[in-house]
Structure 1
Amino acid sequence: MTRDTLSVWAPAASHVDVLVTRIDPAGTQPTTAPDRHAMSAGEGGWWTWPRPDDATLDYSFSIDGGEPRPDPRSAWLPHGVHGPSRTFDEAAHAWTDGDWRGTREGRGVLGGVVYELHIGTFTPEGTFDAAIAHLGHLVDLGIDVVEVMPVAAFGGTHGWGYDGVAPYAVQQAYGGPAAFQRFVDACHGQGLGVCLDVVYNHLGPTGNYLADFGPYFTDTHSTPWGPAVNLDADGSREVRRWVVDNALRWFRDFHVDALRLDAVHELRDESQPHILAQLSDETASLAEELGRPLDLIAESDLNDAIMVTPTSEGGRGMTAQWDDDIHHALHVALTGEDQGYYADFAGGTEAWPDGGPLSVLAKTLTDAFLHDGRMSTFRGREWGAPLDRETRSGHQFLAYLQTHDQVGNRATGDRISDQVSPGQQAVGAALYLLSPFTAMVFMGEEWRASTPFAFFTSFDEDWLADAVRSGRRAEFAAHGWNEADVPDPQDPATRANSVLDWQEPYAPGHNEMLHFYRQLIRVRRTQPDVASGDLRATSVRFDEDARWMVLSRGAVHVVANFAGRSQLVPFEGEVEHVLASWARAPIVDGTGVLLDGHDVAVLRTR
C-alpha cells in the first residue's frame, strides 16, 4: 500500500472488492455501510484501488464475494483483529532523533546490556506512553537496549504477544502504531536502543485470515502450531517478501535498532538462500543506507553457530542469538532443580557423565553451549555443534538469568527470587553480567521483584478461552501441580498480578539488589577485560564439593560462594581493588577470599 493506493496480494481470486469508510479528523466514522469498490487485477496476483485523497480510511477486502477481511499488511487495527484495517501515515511522526547513530554510539547490540520488557505489564496502564515515564530507571541501571516483547495485534486486549495475527500492526491496547513511534523516539532521546521481538514462524488462533488471501501456509512442513509459514513452496516468493518487508519496515519507519526473531528453528525453509540469510543481507543493505547499525537476534534451539556465521561464509548472518544453555546451567546450579530439560545441566547424564552442576556451568561460561554435539537426554539424540572459540566472540550469544519464557512458562510464573536467597541471585547475576557474553536482564529482576510473570490471555471466544485454560492446567497437572494452583490465563487478575510494582525498587529487600545490579553493570562498562567478548581470555575454577567458583576475565575475577556457609575460597594474586560485593566487603589474604554463605565479590588484581 502507498499513500495513494490500496493493494493486496490474492493470487487465486477472480475478483476482489475493497470496502471503505472515511474517518473524520476526530477519529470517528459514520454509521452508514462502507462503500464497496472493485479492485483492479495486476501482475503477480496483486490487486489495487486508487485512494481518492490522503484521507484516513477504514478498509477491508472481500475475496470473490466473501466476508470482509483486514489487510494482511495492516498497519493499524483500532477495532481489533476481526475488524477493518485503518490507514496509517508512517511519515507523520515528527522524529527528534536526527542525531541518533545507533545503539551504543554505532557499536550495535553486541557486548551491551539488553533489558527485556513486556509493555502490557511494565506499568499498570500497559501502554507505550506510560512506559516512557520509566526510561530513566533503565538509564540509571546502565541498560543499552530495550527489548520489547511482541506488539503485533492479537486477539483480546492482554496477552504475551506471541499469538499475534497481524505482524504489521501494533496492538491497539498498547497505544497503536503512533504510540510505538513515540516510544522509540523517547528511548533514543535517552540513549537507549530499541529491539522489537517479532514472530514469523506462526500466527495466533483467532483473527488469522491469511489463508483467505493466498498460500501463506504450506503442508510441506509442520510446526508445533500446525502447517508452516510458506517459505519454499508454490507462492512463497510473495510470502517471503511479506516477512522481509515487515522486518525492514520496523527499521525504516519506526527507527527500531534490532529485531529479536522468535524460534527461528521453526522457520522451515529448504530453499536458497534461507529466509534468514535473505533477511540478513537485506538488513545489511538498509543499515548502509540509513547510516546506523541494524541488528538481528535469533532465538534458536539448534545450538549451532551457523546462526551467527556471515552469509558470505554460508551462515544465516544473525548478529547474535539467545543462549538457553547458559540460563539452564545457572538455574540448576542455583536452585538444584533437575526435572525435564534441566536434567543434563545437573550432570551425571550421558550429556555430562563425570561432573556436577558447577562443572556444567563452567563449560557454558567458557564454551557457550553444553549441548555441542553431545547427547541431549531431554531430546533423546545428539544435539548442537561445537563452538570455535578462536573465531566466535562471546558477544554473539545472549546470557541471562531469567526471560519471559523461563519465568512465564513455569506453572505460577514465579521468578528466580521466589526460589533462591538474595545472595544466590547475586551470585547468578554477577556470573552472567560479567561473562564474555552480551547480557540480558528481565524486567523487575534487577530489584528482585515480588510480582510474578504468569501466562495470561484475554480471548473473546469462549471455546478458545476454555481450550487455553484447560490445556494450561492439564500440562502442569501432568507434572504434579494441583490444577487449582495454576493461575487461570483468562482471569484478568492473572495479568494484573503480573504488573510490576514501581514502589519496590525503593523498598528494603529490593533496593539492595538494584544497587548491586548497578554496580555490576558499571564494572562491565568500565573494565576493558570484562567488556571483551574474547572467550579465550575467560577461565573458570571451581570446587564441586565445596561449591565455590571463580570466573576470571583478565585482571577481573568473580569470586562466588554457592554454599550456604561461609568459607575461604582459594585465590592467588594481589588484589588492587574490590569492584563490587554483595553481603559485605570480602576479607582477602594471601591464600584466599573469605565470603559469607551465598555471597559474591568482584576483584581486580594488579
Structure 2
Amino acid sequence: MNVGAHYLGDRRCQFTVWAPFAKDVAVQFPAQSREVALVREGEYWQAIVADVPPETLYLFRLDQAEAYPDPASQYQPKDVHGPSAVVDHNFDWQCSQWSGLPLASLIIYELHVGTFTPEGTFSAIIPRLPELADLGINAIELMPVAQFPGDRNWGYDGVYPFAVQHSYGGPTALKQLVDACHQHGIAVVMDVVYNHFGPEGNYTSQFAPYFTEKYRTPWGSAINFDEAYSEGVRNYVRQNALYWLQAYHIDALRLDAIHAIYDFGAKHILQDLAEAVAEFNQQHNRRCYLIAESDLNDGRVLRPASQGGYGVDAQWSDDFHHALHTLLTHQNQGYYRDFGTCQQFAKALEKSFVYTWDYSPFRQRRHGNDVSDRPPYEFVVCSQNHDQIGNQMLGERLSQLVSFDQLKLAAGAVLLSPYLPMLFMGEEYGEKAPFVYFVSHSDPDLLAAIRQGRAKEFAHFHAEGEPPEAAAVETFKSCHLHWAEREEGAHGTLLAFYKRLIQLRQQLPALQLGDRRDFEAFYQESDRLVGLHHWHNQQAALCLFNFGEETVTYSLEQPGSWQKCLDSNDPQWQGPGAIAAEQVSQAQTVSLLPHSLVLYEKLT
C-alpha cells in the first residue's frame, strides 16, 4: 500500500493512511474548512479527493476527534506540529538518463546541509559542486534531511521520514540539487533513520503501533519490525526507501545505526529493504545502493540471503576509524580503549575490522566476525565523520587535535586504503570549525533531557567541563565552514594533497578496488610503521606510513624495482624535505621522517 498523499494531476490527490484501530478517518483541509471521509481498505484508509491542488494543506482526523499531520507527509511547511502539504513530484529532470556509478568507484563526501554554506540550503550547495568534482569527489552524502523540529538539527531527530526539511528549501530545491549533482557526475547518498523517530512532533503512535516496548534503543522506544501489526511498519519503511530513489533520484541510502534496528523475524527488515532496492534497480535500470552504519562488525549485513545474510551493499568500518584515530591522537578513553597499536591498524587495513570475534576490553566480551569473504569495496572508511567529531566534547576535528603532517598522514591512510573512502566536509583543507551537536527544539523539558544525556555520554570519555549548549544559535553558527579559506596557505596545500591522493587512487591500476587477495598489510610495532602492499596482475603499489615521533627505516621485502610517486615530506606539501629514495629495489631501505607517508609504484 502506497502511504501518504499522492498527487494524481488535474487537482486530484489520493490519500492513504495506516490506522488499523481507527473506527473513522477523514482528511481535513483547514484552509478550505472542508473534510472528506476516507474508506477502510483492510488496515488502511483511502480516498481520491478532487479540488486538491499542489501545496494544499491537510490533516488526518481520527475517530471524529483530534486531527494530526500525515505520518507519511512529504512536506511540512509549517514545521513538525503544523499541517502536511500535498507535493506534485512532476519535475523537469535535466539528467534523466543518469543510471548511477559503480559502487567500487565511489569517493564519498559527507556534508550537513545547514552548516556547509552560510545560507544552509540545498540551493547554496550547487555552486560548490564544480570544486568538489575538481577535487575528485563523485558522491556526496547528505546528513538526514527529513523534517525535524525547528530549523537547525543534525537531522537524527526527524519525525517525518518522507518530508524534506522546510528550512533547507523543501522538495523542489532537493531535486534541483540532485539533478545538478548528476550533471557534474556526482551521485547523491541520503542518510535515513529507521531505528527511531525523534521525540518532538512525533504523532505516529496516534495512528498505529509503530513502536514496541519489547526492545529499547539509546533514543527510546524501538520501531516495531517484528511484533503484531509490524507489516504496516515494514511497508512504511519499504515505501520510504523506494520513495527517495524514485521521486528524488537518490543513488544510495545510508542506513543509520542498524545495530539499533531490532527484528527477530525470519526475514530481517534489512533483507526486505535490500530485495526491494534490487527489484527497483532491475525495473528502472539503475545502480542504487544501501550502505549500513553498524558497529556490529557482522558479515551477515553484507552476505546475500542465500548465505544467510541481509544483502546490504556496503557498511561502515568504525574499527578502521578508531584504529587510525588512536594512532594519531593517542586518545584512550571510552571505546578508544580497544585500540592504539600498529598491529590493529594493519589488521583494519587487511581485514576491514580489528575485532573479528576477539575480546573487546571496552565491551568486556568478544566482538565481531570475519569478513574476508567480502570484497573490499563493500566497506566505507574514514578518518573523520559527524559522529566521531561530535563525540569530542568540544566537537574538535583532527585539525585541532594533531599536526599538519599528521593530517596528511590521515588523508593517505584513508585514500590509499583498499576500501571506499569518505571525507567529512572541510577535512580536505583542514577546516578548524568544530562540529558539535545542535538542535532547535521548543520543549524546555526535552532540552534539559538532552543536556543531561550529553553530560552522561561524555562521562564515558572522562571529559572535563561541559559541552556547548545544543540549543544555542551560537553553537550552530560555530559549526559553519570557512570555505573561503580552503585555498589559503596550509589549507590550500592540504587541499592539493587530497586532490593528488585521489588522482593517484584513480590512476594507478594497483589501487583499483577489486579482490581481497590483491593486498596485504604489515607493521613494525616498535617503529610505529604500517605498510600496505597492493598488486593487480603485473602492477603493484607500496604505501608506507610512519605514525611515530622518530625517523624510521624499512628494508624492502617486495621484489622488483620501485619508483616513488608521492612523499608527504616534499616541500611541495610543506614538508621538511624528502629523505626517501626516488627509486628502491628489494633489500634496500626506505627512510621516513616522523608522521609521514610515502607511496611507491612498481616498475614493470
Greater CA deviation, 40-49 or 443-452? 40-49
1:2 aligns with 2:6: yes
Paired with 2:514 and 2:427, the residues of 1 have a C-alpha distance of 24
- Cα distance in 2 for partners of 1:488, 1:482 equals 15
The 5 Å alignment of 1:429-448 reads 429-448=411-430
Which residue among 168, 186, 202 is the counterpart of 2:180?
Answer: 186
* Alpha-carbon distance in 1 for matches of 2:63, 2:237: 25
Question: Alpha-carbon deviation of 1:465?
Answer: 1.9
Please state how far the C-alpha of 1:123 moved relative to its aligned partner. Answer: 0.6
The offset of 1:207, in angstroms, is 0.5
Quote the Cα distance in structure 2 between the aligned partners of 1:40 and 1:57. 21
Match runs of 1:280-319 below 5 Å: 280-319=274-313
Give 1:55 deviation, angstroms.
4.7
Match of 2:497 in 1: 516
Q: Measure the CA separation in 2 of the matches of 1:230 and 1:100.
A: 36
Q: CA deviation at 1:447?
A: 0.6
Give the unaligned 5+ runs of structure 2: 8-12, 571-577
Secondary structure at the residue paired with 1:490?
Answer: coil
**Counterpart of 2:483 in structure 1: which amino acid?**
W
1:177-576 aligned at under 5 Å gives the runs: 177-346=171-340, 357-387=341-371, 389=372, 391-476=373-458, 479-484=461-466, 486-554=467-535, 555-571=540-556, 575-576=561-562
C-alpha change, 1:161 and 1:54, in structure 2 (3 Å) is: same
Indicate which of 577, 587, 596 corresponds to 1:599.
596
Instruction: Note if 1:587 corresponds to 2:580.
Output: yes
Counterparts in 2 of 1:75 and 1:201: CA distance versus 1, 3 Å: same
Is 1:35 the counterpart of 2:34 in the alignment? yes
Give the Å deviation of 1:343: 1.3
Which stretch of the first structure deviates more once superposed, 584-593 or 541-550?
584-593
Partner of 1:84: 83
When residues 467 and 454 of structure 1 are mapped into structure 2, their CA distance, relative to the original with a 3 A threshold, is same
Cα separation, 1, equivalents of 2:217 and 2:122 = 32
- Could you say what secondary structure the match of 1:169 adopts? strand
After TM superposition, the structure 1 stretch with the greater mean CA deviation from structure 2, 463-472 or 253-262, is: 463-472
Deviations 1:312-353 (A, max 9, x none): 33210100000000001101111111111111212xxxxxxx
Contact 1:577 1:603 in 2 (8 A): yes
The 1:431–1:478 alpha-carbon spacing in structure 2 relative to 1, beyond 3 Å, is closer
Distance 1:125 1:575 in 2: 52
2:334/2:460 contact within 8 Å kept: no
**Counterpart of 2:146 in 1: which secondary structure?**
coil
In structure 2, distance between residues paired with 1:542 and 1:383: 23
Distance apart, 1:188 and its partner CA:
0.1
Residue deviations 1:339-395 (CA, integer Å, cap 9, x gap): 11111212xxxxxxxxxx1011111110111111111121121111122x3x32111
Provide the C-alpha distance between the structure 2 equivalents of 1:5 and 1:98, rounded to a whole number of angstroms: 26
**SS of the residue aligned with 1:309?**
coil
Report the count of equivalent residues.
578
Q: Is the partner of 1:167 in helix, strand or coil?
A: strand
Mapped partners of 1:141, 1:545: distance in 2:
36
Contact between 1:42 and 1:48, CA under 8 Å: does it hold in 2?
no
Deviations 1:278-324 (A, max 9, x none): 11111111101111211000111211111111123321010000000
**SS at 2:271 equivalent:** helix
| Residue identity in the other structure for 1:603 | Y
Task: Report the counterpart of residue 141 of structure 1 in structure 2.
Answer: 135
Where in structure 2 are the equivalents of 1:100-115 lying within 5 Å?
100-103=98-101, 107=102, 109-115=103-109
Is the contact between residue 6 and residue 87 of structure 2 (CA under 8 Å) also seen in structure 1?
no
Compared CA separation, residues 53 and 212, structure 1 to 2 (3 A): closer
Secondary structure of 1:425's counterpart equals helix
Task: State how far apart, in whole Å, the 2-side matches of 1:223 and 1:472 are.
Answer: 16
Looking at structure 1, the residues matched to 54 and 592 of structure 2 have their Cα atoms a distance apart, in angstroms, of 68
2: CA distance, partners of 1:87 / 1:549: 56
Q: Following the alignment from structure 2 to structure 1, what is the Cα–Cα distance between the partners of residues 471 and 552? A: 48
Q: How many Å apart are 1:165 and its aligned residue?
A: 0.3
Q: What are the Cα deviations for residues 482-518 of structure 1, in whole angstroms up to 9, with x where unaligned? A: 434x211111111111011111211112111111111
For structure 1, which segment, 175-184 or 372-381, has the greater mean C-alpha deviation from structure 2 after superposition? 372-381
What is the SS of the residue equivalent to 2:339? helix
**Partner in structure 2 of residue 354 of structure 1:** none
RMSD: 1.7
SS in 1 for 2:414: helix
Question: Residue 477 of structure 1: CA displacement?
Answer: 5.2
Q: Which residue of 1 aligns with 2:564?
A: 578
State the alpha-carbon separation in 2 of the partners of residues 478 and 595 from structure 1.
36
CA shift for structure 1 position 594: 2.5
CA contact (8 A) 2:333 2:462 kept: no
Contact 1:150 1:197 (C-alpha < 8 Å) held by counterparts: yes
Q: Does the Cα contact within 8 Å between 2:54 and 2:87 map onto a contact in 1?
A: no
Distance 1:167 1:494 in 2: 26
Q: CA deviation at 1:474?
A: 4.5
- Structure 2 equivalent of residue 27 of structure 1: none
What is the CA-CA distance between 1:481 and the residue it aligns to? 3.3
Instruction: Please state how far the C-alpha of 1:574 moved relative to its aligned partner.
Output: 5.3
Percent identity over paired residues: 40
**Local SS of the residue matching 2:21:** coil
User: Is the CA contact 2:380–2:421 (under 8 Å) kept in the aligned structure 1?
Assistant: yes
Aligned letter for 2:565? L
